[in-house]
Structure 1
């Protein structure tokens, strides 16, 4: 095995062990010593791959964004209209969140004490948001047409030139709504009301199509 292959294998093993730790103890309880023990390395060896706990968390976050982006791309493949693309993306997001709740929580859940996501996570996050923007941000949405908001969103328009700034604002708000709904669903807050949340989720998607003006 080449040195590069050995390194890749060890990195994958460390990331897998770190995810096991997060499942058991949450992001705040991630221990480099425990990860090292899980993969059969001394702690100093783990630090050669990830010099800090924060670097390991960052790698996990970027990996999770990549997993979600792949799921979204697979879900929307072959969808032709903006509406069918939006529905496929939102449903893929929910399926991925339900199947991988700890990864969902890692990127969208409660902030980990002491951890601030560095700039290198931004492209990974953009890869998740971009397909939603491509599907739903082409129209003007009056409620999001304020000048101050438009000034803030100008930089986002650079990556989606066919989008309107008000459409971008509306899409970002709707993604936030989906993440919030899924956060509540995964935490069991709909038990006794809208559980299972299938019908509530689908009704939300129909309202989103109306808000975004896509069909």
Structure 2
């Protein structure tokens, strides 16, 4: 849709604050009230744009994943693909991942398009790790080591993580936040002081994670 294309153009040029209904209307030579026929509010427009971005990224990652010969290669492909996409689209990445994802259980009405699209994106990684675990369970910390409060929270999400036990979910979250945090630091310019090019460091981190999951990791 032209409206969302114009909003994305403004996002890339001026960041999230540049996406205003009046600004989008000017970009399209329309009046601001005309946009309300398509989007009831600024939040609705941003949610629709974020949903499109998530779906674009998800389709890109699935296409990469499906070229992998085994689970180890698939993990490397989608993780590397996420980094490549984020570096190529820093403004879009910032809009998508700079806001909290609502808790589905706290949403009384139909979930927003952006939230639904975010769940589809997350499933690409979540489902792959669950597949790895159920094919060959990787070592994970015992419940006693994690503590009852954390274990209780993790067990509540067991169904969401395809029935994995608390320790396996814990490692899945640990490895995801590790890779995600590294990508965020690189995209937002927080690694230049240490690394001119973080690609080799990212690959080394990914290889370490793959080995911990018992995967055959591609060579460096």
Give the shorter-chain TM-score range: 0.7 to 0.9
- SS of alignment partner, residue 88 of structure 1: helix
Instruction: Output the CA distance in 1 between the equivalents of 2:173 and 2:88.
Output: 23
CA displacement at 1:92 relative to structure 2: 0.8
- 1:131 aligned partner: 124
- Over 3 Å counting, the alpha-carbon distance change for 1:180 and 1:144 in structure 2 is farther
- 1:55 aligned partner: 44
- 1:71 aligned partner: 60
CA displacement at 1:165 relative to structure 2: 3.6
Instruction: Output the CA distance in 2 between the equivalents of 1:61 and 1:55.
Output: 10
- 2:140 aligned partner: 142
Matches within 5 A, 1:1-40: 12-40=1-29
Task: Please list every run of at least 4 consecutive aligned residues from structure 1 whose deviation after the TM superposition is greater than 4 angstroms.
Answer: 115-118
Instruction: Output the CA distance in 1 between the equivalents of 2:169 and 2:116.
Output: 17
- Over 3 Å counting, the alpha-carbon distance change for 1:70 and 1:57 in structure 2 is same
- 1:176 aligned partner: 177
CA displacement at 1:213 relative to structure 2: 3.3
Worse-superposed segment, 205-214 or 96-105: 205-214
More contact order relative to length (CA 8 Å, sep ≥ 6):
2
When the two chains are superposed, the root-mean-square deviation of aligned CA atoms in Å is 2.6
Q: Gaps spanning 5+ residues in structure 2: where? A: none
Point out the structure with the larger helix share. Answer: 1
- 1:7 aligned partner: none
Worse-superposed segment, 180-189 or 139-148: 139-148
Aligned residue pairs total: 201
- 1:5 aligned partner: none
Instruction: Output the CA distance in 2 between the equivalents of 1:144 and 1:68.
Output: 35
Say whether residues 1:91 and 2:80 are aligned partners: yes
- Tell whether the 8 Å contact from 2:155 to 2:165 is kept in structure 1 after alignment: no
Q: Gaps spanning 5+ residues in structure 1: where? A: 1-11
CA displacement at 1:174 relative to structure 2: 1.9
- Tell whether the 8 Å contact from 1:21 to 1:30 is kept in structure 2 after alignment: yes
CA displacement at 1:57 relative to structure 2: 1.0
Instruction: Output the CA distance in 2 between the equivalents of 1:180 and 1:165.
Output: 22
